[in-house]
Amino acid sequence: MSEVPYSQPPQYSGYVPPQRRKTRWWIPVVIILGVLAVFVIGIIAFFAAIIGSIGSSSKKVAAVKPNSVLMLNLSKPLSEYNAHTGLFTSHTPATFLEVLNAVKRAKTDENIKGIYIKPGSTSGFAKVTELHDALEDFKKSGKFIYAFMESGERANYYAALPADSIFMPREGYLQLNSAGTSVMFYKGLFEKLGVDAHVEQFEEYKSFGEPYSRKNFSAPAKEELRTLIEQRAKQFNQTIAKFRKMDIEKVQAAINRGMYTTDSLLANGFIDAFATETQVKEKLRIRSNGSDDKSKKLKLVAMDDYYDSPNKNYTTPDVKNQIAIIYASGTIRTGKRSGGGPFGGSSAEIASESFVNDLKKARENEFVKAIILRIDSPGGSALASDIMWEEIQKTRKVKPVYASMSDVAASGGYYMAMACDTIIAHPQTITGSVGVIGILPTFAGTLDKIGVTVDTISTGHSSHFMSPFLAHNEQDLKLFHTLMEGTYRRFVSKAAESRHKNYEDMRDLAKGKVWSGNDAQKVGLIDVLGGWQTTLSLVKHRIGIADSVKVMVQIFPKPQDDIKELLKTFGINIDDDDENGDD
């Protein structure tokens, strides 16, 4: 047998090499093209939706049909102002003023047979009480109001009180007990962490910083809060007694015991019947149509749609006699409004530069005869407040400026109001707080606990004033006190000048103390008690327009159109139209 040389591979007769597989190079190409196609189609659809939204925003809401029921959905807080329009909606939620006007219109609208209230979220006490007045006036027409709630607490029940009938499901729950408050204090935590928060407050009632410097309420803070809580509790109980036609003693006794189950609420007369929402809607269907005819459906009209719907009694206001409403809602700071972009964001702020620009526009508009500042603010930056105060004073020399206080107009909120010709506050408004607070924190103890050291190079004694990483010496604290005291004295002086009082009399009313609208009027911090309707009546009278005559309203700030903001990100600009309305 002959050997095959090692250098030669063995030969196999009949061997057929396998076919090489064809490459499918086109598959990834198709996938990439498909993804690109989906992306392009998505972009086209997106812009088509935006264009459709722009078109739909100008469409009229359908007219209200006969035998309709107006739905007042309070699942969200009553808003003074909407900073944004909807990205894919045809209209924005009704503001508080628009809700009041809608209820007023529904009173004489023959197509509206009643109102259906659904309490949910918590709104400010002053706004809800003013809404009560509007609903009570609505009932003078002989029309009905029903309310339904599955669960809730004091504020939700308070919102439902004007209803002729309040319904809850048998398994519902309502926390209806006596009023109170609780506050957390952090000084003990800070001690464990090595943090020190030095608080300068002017004066004893300016208690905002106490949770950081104390372990409990100071005596003045407790006195102030107790007064407000007791006033609110008294108003709450009196309102229940009024609308539920009960003796005040019975109401107080029941509230003090606390009621939580629907059985106890029904037994004590705080609700009218057990019912699910389906059953309530059936009652609404029968009541609004005047019969149990099954062919007649329930026609609920949302508040937003009703406000935008055609009004046959509408008359065009005189464009030459307008009122400007400038909304000042949220905390106060310097600079421009942040806006929030096309997808929204926080709009609860008053930015001094933007406010001044709005005020200037209203002042320079020859058709605007008077300006209303609608204030709902707990305060904020002292510098920003002073900037706005100066501009309001400047505007007063040209045309009248009125302050209308909402739920809160305190500290910087009052600073703005006191610059106006006339201050109107609701009896339940929280106002005043003429005072200043400053907090000087240091984390030197914290750094020491974790082994971090700080070394410094200084060119003078004040080089590291207010440094959060070094312990503050007596000189630092004395300087900080002087700065805060100077700001406080200027605040009191301007308040005294605005309210025609001497400095010491004004200081007795200041000291950081907050007041209810009722008490604020008694001591001369405000001029008139009332809400939106009172304010509008006073302003109309001032510019010579009868209370029954419609007046055109210019709204500031102009609501941000989220659709237009989104288009701007793609370099597409659309001119904004003025936002007008009427009272």
CA 2 from chain centre, in angstroms, equals: 103
* Closest to 141 measured CA to CA, from 168, 162, 110: 110
Q: Is residue 554 a part of any domain in this protein?
A: yes
Task: Assess contact for 189 and 496: CB atoms under 8 A.
Answer: no
pLDDT at residue 538 greater than cutoff 60 = yes
Peptide bond into 557 cis (omega under 30): yes
State pLDDT tens for residues 371-419. Answer: 999 999 999 999 999 999 999 999 999 999 999 999 999 999 999 999 9
CB neighbour list of residue 539: distance below 8 Å, 6 or more residues apart: 323, 370, 372, 400, 402
Q: Is residue 490 a part of any domain in this protein?
A: no
In this structure, the answer to whether residues 330 and 281 fall within a common structural domain is no
Which residue matches tokens 């058709």? 367
Share of residues in the chain with pLDDT > 70 (%): 84
In this structure, the answer to whether residues 173 and 274 fall within a common structural domain is yes
Six-digit token string for 142: 């002989």
The reported pLDDT for the residue numbered 560 is: 64
State pLDDT tens for residues 140-196. Answer: 999 999 999 999 999 999 999 999 999 999 999 999 999 999 999 999 999 999 999
Pairing of strands 196-202, 436-442: antiparallel
Q: Which residues span the domain enclosing 568?
A: 318-435+511-582
Q: What is the DSSP letter of 271?
A: S
Which residue matches tokens 């008139």? 528
Per-residue confidence band for 58, with pLDDT thresholds at 50, 70 and 90: very low
Task: Assess contact for 305 and 71: CB atoms under 8 A.
Answer: no
In this structure, the answer to whether residues 79 and 161 fall within a common structural domain is yes
Total domains in the fold of the chain: 2
State pLDDT tens for residues 443-485. Answer: 999 999 999 999 999 998 888 999 999 999 999 999 999 999 9
Q: Is residue 478 a part of any domain in this protein?
A: no
In this structure, the answer to whether residues 297 and 422 fall within a common structural domain is no
Choose one of 278, 308, 338: the last residue of a domain: 308
State pLDDT tens for residues 238-294. Answer: 999 999 999 999 999 999 998 889 999 999 999 999 999 999 999 999 999 999 999
Residue 568: φ, ψ to 5° = -65, -30
Pairing of strands 580-582, 551-556: antiparallel
Count the Cβ atoms, other than its own, within 10 Å of residue 157.
23
- Entry pTM: 0.85
In this structure, the answer to whether residues 275 and 353 fall within a common structural domain is no
Q: Is residue 126 a part of any domain in this protein?
A: yes
Residue 123: φ, ψ to 5° = -110, 165
pLDDT at residue 368 greater than cutoff 70 = yes
Six-digit token string for 48: 């088509």
CA 415 from chain centre, in angstroms, equals: 20
Task: Assess contact for 440 and 472: CB atoms under 8 A.
Answer: yes
The reported pLDDT for the residue numbered 9 is: 47
Per-residue confidence band for 59, with pLDDT thresholds at 50, 70 and 90: very low
Mean pLDDT of the chain: 88
In this structure, the answer to whether residues 516 and 406 fall within a common structural domain is yes
State pLDDT tens for residues 72-125. Answer: 999 888 999 887 655 555 557 889 999 999 999 999 999 999 999 999 888 899
Task: Assess contact for 407 and 125: CB atoms under 8 A.
Answer: yes
Q: Is residue 534 a part of any domain in this protein?
A: yes
CATH of the domain at 429: 3.90.226.10
In this structure, the answer to whether residues 106 and 168 fall within a common structural domain is yes
pLDDT at residue 579 greater than cutoff 60 = no
Please state, in angstroms and as integers, the Cα–Cα distance from residue 446 to each residue in 188, 215, 438, 439, 474, following that order.
14, 19, 21, 17, 20
